[in-house]
Structure 1
């Protein structure tokens, strides 16, 4: 009965009850967005940074497997540092593991959907695997995000123009039949 004598209090309570859930949800969205943005701009853990430097040196020295080992160790140390996925994907591509590289680029894109290097790298790996049409989709996306003159767009366009590289047959791929015949 007290509420009927104070219509202002009733109106205020009703207003709060009506909009409080929406305000709470909106503030949560802003908090999550801010934390994601802050996480993307941070530096790698010092130990991970050291492992990344070792991996880059190995990659520059033409040792992609050693680079993969270093980058995977860096990922174990700092799994929230997205750029390590890009380094690991590049090393995997150089080792001829395009499927693994595509998966790593997609993980980076799940974390940062507009990461130009990840879009371009995934497109190049797709071309190397022979999926040129899918790579053209990546090129279209890059053109939308940064235009035709950005480095990533030009790199992917050049890779598409070169086309898929011929597959090199490794000794491990040709295993002799283990059939035993009797003389």
Structure 2
């Protein structure tokens, strides 16, 4: 008799926990509406309709925020609009859902190169190589982007931030 209230409380606790677990979907099952919206967004991206792609991909994420493909495609839209910082963040959200997503790692590395962060892109390349263990398309693609280097505008902007040395040994003028 003295154990029955404890047993009843435990049974109620297990019933509540197990019913909550049964209601959750596994991560591999993405809402079909979200998948179809992501495909429509991908088609809009291919047609260079960036606003249409953004609208569809954001709707895909509203339908199911676990859709990594939608985050990756939004990152590609941001890169196409020359917003590599935003793209890096979007790829980071995809990687938060699945840290070993090779497509997200490759795309994030490409955005890092576009922004001028080649060292960080090389870290992504090493991570991809560790995950692949053999030559894979993602590693080869990112290696090619790194070898190409950042766009000339980024290189010029980075090199112009350093003040040139004063001519004729004169002291620099303070503002």
Q: Which residue of 2 aligns with 1:130?
A: 116
Give the structure with higher Rg (CA). 1
Q: Which residue of 1 aligns with 2:64?
A: 78
Q: Secondary structure at the match of 1:109?
A: helix
Counterpart-to-counterpart distance in 2, 1:142 and 1:80: 22
Matched, 1:62 2:48: yes
What displacement does 1:47 show?
Answer: 2.5
Q: Secondary structure at the match of 1:79?
A: coil
Q: Which residue of 2 aligns with 1:45?
A: 31
Counterpart-to-counterpart distance in 1, 2:134 and 2:150: 22
**Which whole-Å deviations, capped at 9, do the CAs of 1:139-162 have from their partners, x for residues lacking one?**
111111103520110110010011
Counterpart-to-counterpart distance in 1, 2:35 and 2:126: 33
Matched, 1:142 2:128: yes
Decide whether the 8 Å contact of 1:68 with 1:92 is kept in 2: no
- From the superposition, tell whether residues 167 and 63 of structure 1 become closer, same or farther in structure 2 (CA, over 3 Å): farther
Counterpart-to-counterpart distance in 1, 2:39 and 2:101: 21
Counterpart-to-counterpart distance in 2, 1:62 and 1:147: 35
Unaligned runs of 5+ in 2: 1-20, 155-175
What displacement does 1:75 show?
Answer: 0.8
Count of residues paired in the alignment: 133
What displacement does 1:49 show?
Answer: 2.4
Unaligned runs of 5+ in 1: 1-31, 169-183
Displaced runs of 4 or more, over 3 A:
none
Counterpart-to-counterpart distance in 1, 2:35 and 2:46: 16
TM-score by length of 1: 0.66
Decide whether the 8 Å contact of 1:147 with 1:153 is kept in 2: no
Root mean square deviation, CA, Å? 2.2
What displacement does 1:74 show?
Answer: 1.0
What displacement does 1:166 show?
Answer: 2.9
Q: Which residue of 1 aligns with 2:88?
A: 102
